[in-house]
Amino acid sequence: MTTEILMPALSPTMEEGTLAKWLVKEGDTVSAGDILAEIETDKATMEFEAVEEGTISKILVSEGSEGIKVNSPIAILADDGENISKLEVSDVSKEKPVADTNNSESKLKTSIIEAISEPEWTDATQVSQQTVREALRDAMAEEMRRDEKVFLMGEEVAEYQGAYKVSQGLLEEFGSKRVIDTPITEHGFAGIATGASFAGLRPIVEFMTFNFAMQAIDQIVNSAAKTLYMSGGQMGAPMVFRGPNGAAARVGAQHSQDYTSWYAHIPGLKVAAPYSASDAKGLLKSAVRDDNPVIFLENEILYGRSFDVPDIEDYIVPFGKARIWRKGTDITIVSFGIGMQYALNAAEELAAQGIEAEVLDLRTIRPIDYETIIQSVSKTNRCITVEEGFPVASIGNHLSAYVMENAFDYLDAPIINCTGKDVPMPYAANLEKLALVTTEEVISAAKKVCYR
Amino acid sequence: MTSRKVSKKTNVNTQELLSFYKDMLLIRRFEEKAGQLYGMGLIGGFCHLYIGQEAVVVGLEASAEEGDKRITSYRDHGHMLACGMDPKGVMAELTGRKGGYSKGKGGSMHMFSKEKNFFGGHGIVGAQVPLGAGLAFADKYLENDRVTFTYFGDGAANQGQVYETFNMASLWKLPVIFVIENNQYAMGTSQLRSTSTPDIYTRGAGFDIPGEAVDGMDVLSVKAAGDKAVKHCRAGKGPYILEIKTYRYRGHSMSDPAKYRTREEVQKMREERDAIENIRSILLTGKHASEDELKSIDKEIKTIVNESAEFAKASPEPELNELYTNIYA
């Protein structure tokens, strides 16, 4: 019985090569792993090993031959008299093909996510005033009470009570096993939390700010976001990365960046950016229950702001559903997170000038509620977007493209994106104000697309 | 590397020796076959073979118990076979087919088995180290009494995240064994040219993590060290470092020009220190097995490997709709 030895491909792009040197001659006995020849490609010279044992009975291509096509025979290997075909029948039946390892995890999955819909919030609903900070804390405490696999880790989350006091009281209630102070090593603890989520825990990772999460972004993107896909659905990262995002006040370029569009870019991540306290609470509870990695973008300036929060037990806000803060007929203003304050202030001023704006709060950027945007634009025929992030590859850019592709005929004017300026954040108070998007800019953009 | 002779180890039984031989041979033959399929264009992209390092995973898996976890880098085929994953599913993933462990969507570097507690298969150098500590964190949190083997190479040992992880793993007494597979070359850069200290395990001292160097060409030494490390971790004493000095015979990946070391160096290691040959000689000289018995094991392994290759060739490519599945749970 003989086997043809074929010219190997030694790189993904190799089609032919040179047989530089034979290291065996006809009649030589070889075992698996012995080096047979040196093959030269355009990039390098590589050794080529025997895979089977046997005797080189014939060399078909002589040393120095160029342009040998991949997979063409270069030598003949004869086996040493053993009749291999007889042996190959032994014990085949034990092998089980892996095929579809149909996700045993799905049994553990709760149906909660599918069941989420925002409770009706009517005039009769009792509400209390709460800050965004308190709403976030309540959301975490409620979810930690509900599920023991939920824990919080990050810098200063425990004894210090949170760098921005978001985790106030959690250490006292849940103890140091579940509220864990980390060293200042984002890359490491983001990876540890991601690993813990692979093993079935549901970590909440607090970044003191998302500016520091750049140290950890490899773990977020390459490990947390992609593992479900790369494992064919066997395991993923049910976890939340949360913390303040974007500019605070007077903290300069390295502490003031809005990362919304960075994370929105990644399939496998979900991204939430709440504006109000009720959404902060309801979305964070959704995020903790989600079986995917969620980037939860808060804002330092909003932490202390008070909003009505409904007195509804287990108040949950689903992902992918925009909130219409104000109905209007003349123009659609789409925003999220702190951008909403400019959008709402502008809408009020515009109303005084006779322009009725419809204001949409996306609340989540992955998934995006395209349907509500298109419905609104189909009615108003005009649209602007508002965000604090940099202008290039912004969320507004993406929405503009989407609306153009899907509702072009409804548009009576080009969409304008109101964004932060294309500069690192300056420290000086007057320059910082100039760098951020302003209510005046939103008003002026709205008037421009209304041709007023 | 020490030149301790394996034959000095006495407390091993025939069964154990034979299973080491078999497991190591399976990895070697599987990898040779993978190299062959790569040559035929059936495996694409990057393919990092484990040939030469077999004693590391085989020795350590012998120390593991049911429920223990393992995670490694992109040179991962050996780890998967050693923890009992089906060679067919591994080979079919290499060929990018539906029957692969990740349905063809992960490839050589990204494979997982929830069933066997194999958590990848990671393509970013060093990233698996904090992930592995996280697996151990979960076991400690859930009070599972399990340990995690976290493998990485001498190249990854220079990554910052490794030391962030050492710090937290020691601080929180995580049951993780950091296994440094020191094959002496970080891709094409010799350890001498990339690593400030020759003995990487000594770096654990700064974090109060005990560690030791182990002869990685001797599966019995690896097993003995593994037992010690597992005992330490399971007793709740925190992490342990095993720096296993080993050697990779093949290139870093399939397209390795092999310009950074001499053929003599590789040949010398193969001839004098090969782990499989060592165990084979113990089996024969100690009269644990006859030539014929070993031959029949060789044939059995060959059959398993050939079947895995046949399966990997015959399994269809994934359905086109798989492009959009498993992005979100």
Question: Concatenated DSSP letters for A208-272?
Answer: S-TTGGGGGHHIIIIIIITHHHHTTTS-----EEEEE-S--SS--GGG----HHHHHT-TT-EEE
Distance from CA of B11 to the nearest CA of A (A): 31
Picking from A183, A194, A231, the nearest residue to B102 by CB comes out as A231
Q: Write down the pLDDT at residue B9.
A: 57
pLDDT digits (tens, 9 = 90+) for B234-246: 999 999 999 999 9
- Cβ-Cβ contacts under 8 Å, A270 against chain B: 328
Residue A98: alpha-carbon gap to chain centroid: 29
Q: Does A88 lie at the interface with B, CB-CB under 8 angstroms? A: yes
The arithmetic mean of pLDDT across residues B250-271, rounded, is 91
**Test the A interface: residue of B135, B260, B300, B308 with most A CBs within 10 Å:** B135
Q: Does A192 lie at the interface with B, CB-CB under 8 angstroms? A: yes
Q: Write down the pLDDT at residue B236.
A: 97
The arithmetic mean of pLDDT across residues A197-212, rounded, is 98
pLDDT band at B195; cut points 50, 70, 90: very high
The arithmetic mean of pLDDT across residues A68-84, rounded, is 78
Report the residue of chain B nearest A113, measured CA to CA: B329
| Assigned CATH topology for domain A124-310 | Rossmann fold (3.40.50)
**Considering chain B, what percentage of its residues have pLDDT values greater than 70?**
97
The residues in A 137-176 lying below 8 A from B, measured between CB atoms, are 151
Q: Write down the pLDDT at residue B318.
A: 98
Report the residue of chain B nearest A239, measured CA to CA: B329
Higher pLDDT, A17 or A273: A273
**Inter-chain touch A97–B141, beta carbons under 8 Å:** no
pLDDT digits (tens, 9 = 90+) for A413-445: 999 999 999 999 999 999 999 999 999 999 999
Residue B2 lies in a domain: no
The pLDDT of residue A122 is above 90 = no
Nearest CA to B239 out of B152, B174, B142 is that of B174
The pLDDT of residue A129 is above 70 = yes
**Inter-chain touch A292–B132, beta carbons under 8 Å:** no
**Inter-chain touch A188–B130, beta carbons under 8 Å:** yes
Q: Does A214 lie at the interface with B, CB-CB under 8 angstroms? A: no
Q: Write down the pLDDT at residue B254.
A: 87
A306-310 and A416-418 as β-strands: parallel, antiparallel, unpaired?
A: unpaired
Report the residue of chain A nearest B88, measured CA to CA: A97
Question: Between chain A and chain B, how many beta carbons pairs sit less than 8 Å apart?
Answer: 248
The residues in A 35-74 lying below 8 A from B, measured between CB atoms, are 35, 41, 43-49, 51, 70-71
Q: Write down the pLDDT at residue A332.
A: 98
Q: Does A17 lie at the interface with B, CB-CB under 8 angstroms? A: no
Contact A432, A426 (CB under 8 A): yes
**Test the A interface: residue of B166, B255, B308 with most A CBs within 10 Å:** B255
Sequence-distant (≥ 6) Cβ neighbours of residue B235 within 8 angstroms? none
The active-site residue, picked from A134, A155, A186, A358, is A186
The pLDDT of residue B205 is above 50 = yes
Say whether A323-449 and A124-310 share the same fold: yes
Contact B32, A51 (CB under 8 A): yes
Picking from B161, B299, B300, the nearest residue to A188 by CB comes out as B161
Q: How many CB atoms lie within 10 A of CB A434?
A: 12
CATH class label, A2-82: mainly beta
Phi, psi dihedral angles at A440 (to 5 degrees): -60, -40
The pLDDT of residue A114 is above 80 = no
* CA–CA distance, B72 with A155 (Å, rounded to integer): 28
**Inter-chain touch A95–B307, beta carbons under 8 Å:** yes
Q: Write down the pLDDT at residue A117.
A: 67
pLDDT band at A125; cut points 50, 70, 90: confident
* CA–CA distance, A165 with A154 (Å, rounded to integer): 13
Distance from CA of A220 to the nearest CA of B (A): 11
Report the residue of chain B nearest A98, measured CA to CA: B89
Q: Write down the pLDDT at residue A106.
A: 35
Domain span holding position B256: 12-312
Q: Which two three-digit tokens encode residue B274? A: 């090969």
Question: Of A106-110, A230-234, A378-382, B325-329, which gets the smallest average pLDDT?
Answer: A106-110
Residue B327 lies in a domain: no
Report the residue of chain B nearest A33, measured CA to CA: B32
**Inter-chain touch A97–B71, beta carbons under 8 Å:** no
Picking from A88, A100, A270, the nearest residue to B306 by CB comes out as A88
Contact A319, A285 (CB under 8 A): no
Identify whether A255 is a catalytic site residue: yes
**Inter-chain touch B88–A47, beta carbons under 8 Å:** no
Domain extent listing, chain A: 2-82, 124-310, 323-449
- Cβ-Cβ contacts under 8 Å, B100 against chain A: 98, 232
Mean pLDDT, chain B, whole residue set: 95
Picking from B101, B103, B131, the nearest residue to A194 by CB comes out as B131
| Assigned CATH topology for domain A323-449 | Rossmann fold (3.40.50)
pLDDT digits (tens, 9 = 90+) for A174-204: 999 999 999 999 999 999 999 999 999 999 9
The pLDDT of residue A84 is above 60 = no
Report the residue of chain B nearest A225, measured CA to CA: B327
The active-site residue, picked from A206, A255, A298, A358, is A255
The pLDDT of residue A164 is above 80 = yes
Picking from B114, B124, B165, the nearest residue to A234 by CB comes out as B114
**Considering chain B, what percentage of its residues have pLDDT values greater than 90?**
94
DSSP B206-220: GGT--EEEEETT-HH
Contact A182, A154 (CB under 8 A): yes
Picking from A6, A100, A151, the nearest residue to B39 by CB comes out as A6
**Test the A interface: residue of B28, B114, B262, B319 with most A CBs within 10 Å:** B114
Report the residue of chain B nearest A177, measured CA to CA: B141
**Inter-chain touch A96–B259, beta carbons under 8 Å:** no
pLDDT band at B11; cut points 50, 70, 90: low
Contact A384, A418 (CB under 8 A): yes
The arithmetic mean of pLDDT across residues A385-402, rounded, is 98
For residue A22, what are the β-bridge partners?
A37
Residue type, B70: R
Maximum alpha-carbon separation in chain A = 97
**Test the B interface: residue of A229, A241, A270, A294 with most B CBs within 10 Å:** A229
Picking from B32, B111, B161, the nearest residue to A49 by CB comes out as B32
ipTM score assigned to the predicted complex: 0.94
Distance from CA of B311 to the nearest CA of A (A): 8
Report the residue of chain A nearest B41, measured CA to CA: A9
- Cβ-Cβ contacts under 8 Å, A218 against chain B: 124, 127
pLDDT band at A43; cut points 50, 70, 90: low
The pLDDT of residue B7 is above 80 = no
CA distances from B155 to A42, B170, B185 (A): 28, 22, 7
Could you tell me where the DSSP H helices lie in A43-185? 84-87, 112-115, 132-146, 170-174
Q: Which two three-digit tokens encode residue B266? A: 């590789």
Distance from CA of A309 to the nearest CA of B (A): 30
**Considering chain A, what percentage of its residues have pLDDT values greater than 70?**
91
Q: Give the SS3 label for residue B15.
A: helix
Q: Write down the pLDDT at residue A89.
A: 36
Nearest CA to A334 out of A308, A313, A363 is that of A363
Sequence-distant (≥ 6) Cβ neighbours of residue B255 within 8 angstroms? A10, A11, A12, A41, A43, A44, A46
Residue type, A136: L
**Is residue A310 reached through a cis peptide bond, with omega within 30 degrees of 0 on the bond before it?**
no
Picking from B35, B130, B302, the nearest residue to A192 by CB comes out as B130
Higher pLDDT, A48 or A182: A182
- Count: domains in chain B: 1
Identify whether A49 is a catalytic site residue: no
The pLDDT of residue A173 is above 50 = yes
The pLDDT of residue A243 is above 50 = yes
The arithmetic mean of pLDDT across residues A331-338, rounded, is 98
The arithmetic mean of pLDDT across residues B196-221, rounded, is 97
Distance from CA of A188 to the nearest CA of B (A): 5
Looking at B133-208, which runs of residues are DSSP E strands? Answer: 148-153, 176-182, 185-186, 189-190
pLDDT band at B166; cut points 50, 70, 90: very high
Q: Write down the pLDDT at residue A194.
A: 98
**Inter-chain touch A182–B249, beta carbons under 8 Å:** no
**Inter-chain touch B114–A101, beta carbons under 8 Å:** yes
Distance from CA of A228 to the nearest CA of B (A): 6
Report the residue of chain A nearest B43, measured CA to CA: A12
Contact A36, A23 (CB under 8 A): yes
**Inter-chain touch A234–B112, beta carbons under 8 Å:** yes
- Cβ-Cβ contacts under 8 Å, B259 against chain A: 44
Residue B104 lies in a domain: yes
Q: How many CB atoms lie within 10 A of CB A367?
A: 14
The arithmetic mean of pLDDT across residues A78-93, rounded, is 48
* CA–CA distance, A248 with B108 (Å, rounded to integer): 44
